[in-house]
Every structure is written in C-alpha cells, then in structure tokens.
Amino acid sequence: MTWIKSFASAVLLASFELFTVVSVTHAQSPIPLNVMPLPAKVQRAEGALKIDASFTIAFAGYREPRLDRAGQRFLRELHRQTGIVFFSPAKSTGPATLTIAADHQSKPVQELGEDESYTLDISPAGARLHATNTLGILHGLQTFLQLVAIASEGFAVPAVHIEDQPRFPWRGLMIDVGRHFEPVEAIKRNLDGMEAVKMNVFHWHLTENQGFRVESRKFPKLQEFGSDGLYYTQDEIRDVIDYARDRGIRVVPEFDMPGHTTAWLVSHPEIASGSGPYAIERKWGVFDPAMDPTSEKTYKFLDDFIAEMAKLFPDQFFHIGGDEVNGKEWDANPKIQAFKRSHKIKTNAELQAYFSGRVQDLVTKHKKTPIGWDEILVPGVPKTIVIQSWRGLDSLTAAARMGYRGILSSGYYLDLGWSAARHYAVDPLGGPAASLSPGEQQLILGGESCMWSEYVSAENIDSRIWPRNAAIAERLWSPADATDLASMYDRLNAESERLEWLGLTHRSFQRLMLQRIAGSGASLEELSALTDLARALEHQKDYTREESAASEPTSFTPLNRLVDAVYPESEVSRQFSVAADQYAASSCRDSALAAQIRAQLIEWTGLDARLQSLAQRSQLMKEASPASAALSQAAKIALEALDEAVKGAPLSPEQRKSQSDALNALEKQAHGSQLTLPMLPALQKLLDTASAVGACTR
C-alpha cells in the first residue's frame, strides 16, 4: 500500500476499501473513518483494534504533568464515548494498548508556529502515537478518539497509519463576551470543542460598549461600573488560560479601542472624547463614544492598564481591536479638532492611526506583539503587527503584499448563520490570495471564526458555534483540496455527536428551550410537532434579524424564542435539499426519492395544524406561528404541484410564476418570527421539476 497525499483521495480509497477488502473482525460491518479535521496523510490497513475494559495507555519518552492530565482526560473521554470503565491509570512504561511517545516538551508559553505534527499507527495488536512534542500528542489523542466506533463485535478503532500536521499555524475561535457575558463553564466547554477539532487560539473579546468583562486590580471601577457584576476575576482568567494550555490552545485577549469602549468610560470619563456621563450600552450597533486620542491621560491610563493585562495574559500576542470608530465624538470636541489642526492630522482615520501607533508602542513596551482589526493597518505601521481581517480577502492579500502578517475572519462570522458548506468554501489562501508569492502566502497565518454575541446566551452559544465551527477548523488544518461536501457533512455530523460527549450542549439545549416555549402542559404529540418545526427552520441570516424584530432588540431582550432555539443550519432541510436535487436530476423517475420527499412534505404540511392549540396557550409559540404557517403552506404548494405533475398536469408557466411568488411571500411571512425557510430553494426546484412537461409522468 502506498502513501496517499490528499485527504480526499484517502477518504475515497478508505470508502473503497471498506466495502471491498478491509474488514473489522469477521467482515461484519465497516468502521467509518470520522476524523475531522482530515489528516494530511491517511493510510488504512486491514483489521481493527478492539476497545474493551482491558484497554490501557502508557507513556514512553518525554513525560510531564500536562501529558499525564491529557492521558487521564483521554481515558475519561473514551469512557464517555463507549461506556466502558477503565480502572487502570496511565502507566509510565511497559506494554499497553496505546503507547504515547513525545520526544520533548513544547514551549513553556505556547508559541505561534510550534511543531504540532504527530504520527498515529493503529493495528489489531495495538497503537502507537508519536509526536515531537506535547502539542502533537494532544492532537493525536483527539484523532484516536474520533476513530473509535461501535461495530458488530463491539467498540473498535480501524487499523490505520496517519501522518498529520496543520496547514496553518493560527486556527482560532473568537468569542465576544462583551455583548452577552459567558460564564467560565461555557468558555471551558468551547475550549474542549476547540481541542477536539485541533484549533489552537482562543481569542477572548473581553471589552465592548455593553460590558467590561475582566477584573482590573489597578482600575477596579472598570469592572465595578462596566459589567453589571458579570466579569471574570483574574483567578478565573488564569484558570481558563491553564485549561486552554492543557488543550494546546493559546489565549489572546482583546481590549477593543478606541471605539467600542462605552463600558470603560462609565467609570473613566476622563479618557473619553465626549463629556459624558456614560452608561453601559444596552442596544446593538456602532456607537459614538470613543477614547480621547489627544489626551496624555489616555495613554498614561492605557500604559498602566496594558502593563497589568500583559502580565495576566502570557501569550505573545495582544489584541487592541481598532474597529468601527465613527468619529462623531471627535468631531464634536473642539479640543480634539484643535489637536488635529496643530498636528496636521487631516482625517479621523489619521487620528485613529495616531492613537493606534501610540497604543502599539505601549504594547511593545510591555513585550507583546500587537494584533488588531483591519483598521490598524495604516502607512508606517511596524511589520511586526498582525492584521485580523473582517473586511475580506482583498485587504488581507493587500496586507501580505506589503509584508504584514494576517489572519482571516471575513467569511468565518458564526453569528451570520451561514451553512457549514459556505464557511468551508472560504480559504485564507483563496481568491486574490491565491496569486500571492509563496513567501507572501507564508504571511497569512490562518484564520479565526468569530462568535459575536448580540443573540447568544450561555444557553444557546454552543449551538451557534458547533458543529459548524468544525468545518472552519478543517479548512484551517487540512490540505487545501479538502472540498468534498458530502464527506465533510458526514464527518461533521459524527463529530457533532462526539462533541456532546465532551459536554458541549449544542444539541441538548434545544429540547429544554422547546419545552419552555411549549409549557409544562404540552402533550408528547405537541412537543414532537414543535421539535419537527424547530428542526426544519433556521434563524434569519446575516444582519436581517433586526429588521424583523417587533421592537428594537437590546441586552434585556430574552433569548427564549423559537428563533433562539433553532439550529443555525437545519440538517433536516439540508438532507431534504440534497434529495430534492437528486429527484429533480432524475426527472421524477426515482420512486424511493419521491416517497422520501413526499413524506417530508406531508409532515411539514401538517405541522401548523398540530401546533394551533399550543399557539393558543403559549405566547412564545404564538410568536412562532407566522413561521409555522409559512412552512406548512410552502410544503403544501410544492406537494400539490408534484401531485399534479405526476397526474400529467405540470404547472403552466403562469402557475409556476404565481406559486413561486407565493413561496417567496411565505419566506417573508416566516421573517415575522425572525425565522427563515431554509428548504425554500429546494421547494422552488421542485416547482421547476413539476413544471417540466411530461417529466413526472413516465
């Protein structure tokens, strides 16, 4: 058997082998290869390694407490995944089912670009995981856990040889805890998720107009007046950093300035550009308050503050934000206008560049490397900074051409509700970046998904991040030619299940929220209908939710509606759309597909009626009624068109136009509940199919 370079071929070959040569004990049933992100190289072999209570691990080579903890965590996870009890603790030497060998330690403070590679060999007789340092071991253990599957003879991992390393050194998740605070517990759950998919940077967006979320001991009024009591103590921060380090994850704090700073200015109006007083912002959007870039008080304050935070956060990188300053307070302040004139600063962008330069000097003085959003890239900025691009690949590419390092976040905004497939298609080296020279491409360090939190609570945050974030993690780790969507979704669904063993709540949260909506008097039948409704719909995409809200949403708005309970990507609708595509391609000839599509349409058609009594009793259900009615009506339109077509009466062009318009109107109706009908394109396609003369009547 030869080396397989590309993961795509690897999966194809793996599938081929599964159904031809490779068998797991007595050729009973194949074991799927649900690794996500896909490894750089995969080579399958015959047979499998059985997982039972006799399973043991042992450490060969370098050993440290972090590895021991990783071993214990690994056994705990293996127990959760299989239900098997492993009484034996990890051994330091001697034979074991899985031998773990690291050559040496990783850096005391994890660094950008450290070796993260590992090799994993599994045969029916045992397994060996090797890595140059601890980081690779952490990654390899996750790969092993992903390979564990139930087969006809019990739990097993397929025989395989994997050589793996990441494509990009910076693979991050940003969580905004400013707009909605997230308890430490929620942060830790998501660090577990990041480890599972080999992400290595947690970008902690700690300050916002709506909240200042970190304890400052030098300036305790910051959190006292800026957080509603919802902030992390320094002990909690250190605990999270340790937790992340155990999982091979760096923690990069962000202190967004000079805009997005209302919560700072509540207690420290002396560094503001306006006259105050300021109050914690309760609405969403871009606001006027900004730090005063012309006052030395501001820099004195920031010098002290950055000194404190630079000590608290050990990572080399220090994020200074820099996005979305509207300049209104600057324009309104005569002193600032005078400063601009006297310093020959013509625009507010230049003024921000001046501020940014001063702050970067402070960050550098405190031995950190600044990172900031697009806006901080202005002429003359030192080449050491890193640009985080929310504007897009064009700005990232331009930065690389100028010699600046950058990471991509445009295309990875999880709050926009895009499908996993859409995020998956975004490549930090795609589009304009593809034309960069190899040397310039090296400057593009990777990317970060971003969880902005206007509509995110501790209850539903996991569902807004997972499982879609795993697709982004794969884009940043796996070879660039990993583009097979069917394979991606299969593995995404498998990993999504596994993430719940780790304690993530991205699926389990939903039942509780639906029960809240239904109320405790709801019957099993009503709950079942509500679940079917929730699983079919998605929340509105991009920034359209605000447009549909009955009243302006604020941080007081309860996140307890159906829109908060649906998954951002409906797997039911996705599978329906795949089936509808195949059915259309078969011109209605595939009767099994026809039955599947009809069954789904019939279920949706009936949902609204089944939910009428609930809508009478529960205000939260009543709010979802427009979407419920829209779904049932839309399904009915498609079903009737198909039925007529099968009877030999395809839609006329006029009928087709009118029904198509009706579907679009129903989509608008669903917006009344801030929801969207994700199967709408598939329904339109079914109308097309039902309009083709004679297509459905063979």
SS3 440: helix
Q: Is 149 in the site for a copy of itself (CB under 8 A)?
A: yes
Query: Considering the rule CB under 8 A, would residue 29 count as an interface residue with a copy of itself?
Result: yes
d(CA 676, CA 670): 6
Among 46, 324, 603, 667, the one annotated catalytic: 324
Separation between Cα atoms, residue 584 and residue 566, nearest integer Å: 28
Determine, following the binding rule CB under 8 A, whether residue 572 of this chain makes contact with a copy of itself.
yes
Structure tokens at 624: 């979802």
- Scan residues 407-436 and list those touching a copy of itself (CB under 8 A): none
Residue 571 is a binding residue for a copy of itself (CB under 8 A): yes
Rule CB under 8 A: say whether 498 interacts with a copy of itself: yes
Q: Measuring CA to CA, which residue among 375, 280, 293, 298 is closest to residue 333?
A: 293
Cα separation, 106 vs 110, in Å, equals 7
Nearest to 406 by CA among 383, 389, 423, 418: 389
If one asks whether residue 486 binds a copy of itself (CB under 8 A), the answer comes out as no
- The token duo for 438 is 């190899």
Under rule CB under 8 A, residue 493 binds a copy of itself: yes
**82 vs 369 by CB, closer to a copy of itself:** 82
Distance in angstroms (rounded) separating the CA atoms of residues 526 and 621: 11
Q: Is 609 in the site for a copy of itself (CB under 8 A)?
A: no
Of 394-402, 416-424, 557-565, 585-593, the segment contacting a copy of itself by CB under 8 A is 557-565
User: What is the spatial distance between Cα 547 and Cα 73, in angstroms, rounded to a whole number?
Assistant: 45
Residues 612-651 that bind a copy of itself (CB under 8 A): 616-620, 622
- Please, which residue, 33 or 244, has the CB nearer to a copy of itself? 33
**154 touches a copy of itself by CB under 8 A:** yes
Which residues lie closer than 8 Å to 434 by C-beta, 6 or more apart?
none
Binding flag, residue 559, a copy of itself (CB under 8 A): yes
- Binds a copy of itself by CB under 8 A, chosen from 123, 544, 560, 587: 560
54 touches 81 (CB < 8 A): no
Q: Among residue numbers 433 through 472, which ones bind a copy of itself (CB under 8 A)?
A: 457, 459
Residue 520, interface with a copy of itself (CB under 8 A)?
Answer: yes
* CB 379 to a copy of itself: min, Å: 45
Give the C-alpha separation, 86 to 71, whole Å: 12
Applying CB under 8 A, among 9, 27, 153, 693 the residue interacting with a copy of itself is 153
For residue 194, the one-letter residue type is M
- Tell me the C-alpha distance between 484 and 153, whole Å: 30
The residue (of 70 and 518) whose beta carbon lies closer to a copy of itself is 518
Strand partners, 207: 212
Whichever of 82 and 409 has its CB closer to a copy of itself, that residue is: 82
Residue from 20, 379, 556, 654 in contact with a copy of itself (CB under 8 A): 556
Phi, psi (deg, nearest 5) at residue 636: -65, -40
Identity of the residue, 93 or 152, whose beta carbon is nearer to a copy of itself in the bound complex: 152
Taking the complex as a whole, the smallest distance from the CB of residue 500 to a copy of itself amounts, in Å, to 6
Residue 295's contacts (CB-CB under 8 Å, 6 or more residues apart) are 271
Examine the residue annotation and report whether 324 is marked as an active-site residue of this protein. Answer: yes
C-alpha torsion sign, points 239, 243, 248, 252:
negative
Residue from 61, 274, 327, 519 in contact with a copy of itself (CB under 8 A): 519
Determine, following the binding rule CB under 8 A, whether residue 521 of this chain makes contact with a copy of itself: yes
Q: How many CA atoms lie within 13 A of 404 on its CB side?
A: 27
DSSP-derived letter for residue 157 is E
Provide the annotated active-site residues. Answer: 324
Q: Which spans of this chain sit near a copy of itself (rule: CB under 8 A)?
A: 28-29, 32, 34, 53, 80-85, 87, 89, 149-154, 228-229, 457, 459, 493-494, 497-498, 500-501, 507-508, 511-513, 515-521, 524, 555-556, 558-560, 564, 571-572, 575, 616-620, 622
